[in-house]
Structure 1
Amino acid sequence: MDERKRESMIAYLRRRMAKVGMKAADVAAALAEERMRQKSVRYRNAFGDTWDGKGSMPQWLTQAISAGQSLEHFAVAAAVKPAEKRRAAVDWSQDPFAGSRLATVAH
Structure 2
Amino acid sequence: MDERKRDSMIAYLRHRMEEFGIEPEDLAAVLAAEPAAQKAERYRSATGDSWDGQGEMPQWLKQAISAGQSIDHFELSSKTAPVSQPKKHVDWTNDPFAGSPLARSSNSR
Give TM-score, length-normalised by structure 2. Answer: 0.43
Output the TM-score relative to the length of structure 1: 0.44
State the structure with more CA Rg: 1
